[in-house]
Amino acid sequence: MDIAQPIESIARRSLHVELVDRLHAMIVEGALPPGGKIPEKALCERFGVSRTPMREALKVLAADGLVLLAPNRGAWVSKMTVAELEEVFPIMGALEALSGELACERITDSQIERIRKTHKDMLKHYRAGDLTEYFRANQKIHEAILEAADNATLATQYRTLASRVRRARYLANMSDERWARAVAEHEQILQALENRQGAQLAVILRQHLKNKFETVRQWLATQGDDF
């Protein structure tokens, strides 16, 4: 990736949060690949920040397991192992299922309407073949369901693992067939939410994540022990 792009200055009022979010997105979406050294100087120039906030942001990402810090040697994007993902995906499936059940008990009409709008945006990106924007809209839907569940403990556990799942999903190639099936699954998710069918939504969400992992598993078979 060419890091030397036009400066994307960050508003000072939210410098730390914005910087963490942008670096997080670059790692999750693969712009900073697993095992690669993080080009701190180039990123500082890109975002118009000094080394101090950059290093503070990297410390946050290191605490989340996305970055490895080596004293006097810099920072690297952490790798993911097959064994790690085999542990993480079933746990995320359980958290997604519980999120769906609780959301159906507590979700408001206005929250459903926002999810419905995001779903339409996701379909637009799907028809345009824009996988990156599709993934972003997709994630907004899952985050909105989590928000509707209104359970802080669940949200904390969910977000601790969510980055690992998203990294694997972005890196793994998704066939046209699997993409179409994922869209169909999201139609089912929306319908269950609208009908507030918690038990059914839990089953759909758990299977949805299993299907995601099958896509990742197939891709992993071509990658070796870790990536």
CB–CB of 148/118 below 8 Å?
Answer: no
- Report the pLDDT value the prediction gives residue 2, as an integer from 0 to 100: 55
Q: Which residue has the tokens 């946050």?
A: 60
Residue 30 tokens read as: 């693969």
- What is the per-residue pLDDT for 227? 58
Taking each helix axis as running N to C, give the angle between helix 131-149 and helix 152-171, from 0 to 180 degrees, rounded to the nearest 10.
170
Cβ-contact 139, 186 below 8 angstroms: no
pTM attached to this predicted model? 0.80
Output the pLDDT for position 224: 62
Q: For residue 45, what are its two tokens?
A: 């120039």
- Single out the residue of 121, 100, 89 nearest to residue 215, CA to CA: 89
Q: Which residues, given as ranges, of the chain have pLDDT below 70?
A: 1-13, 223-227
pLDDT score for 226: 56
Query: How far is the C-alpha of 51 from the C-alpha of 41, rounded, in Å?
Result: 7
Look at residue 15 in the predicted model and tell me its pLDDT: 82
Q: How far apart are CA 180 and CA 174, in angstroms?
A: 10
Q: Confirm if 49 and 60 have CB atoms less than 8 A apart.
A: no
Distance between CA atoms of 48 and 42, rounded to whole angstroms?
A: 10
Structure tokens at 5: 């792009």
pLDDT at 170: 79
User: Domains of the chain (ranges plus CATH)?
Assistant: 12-77 (1.10.10.10), 82-220 (1.20.120.530)
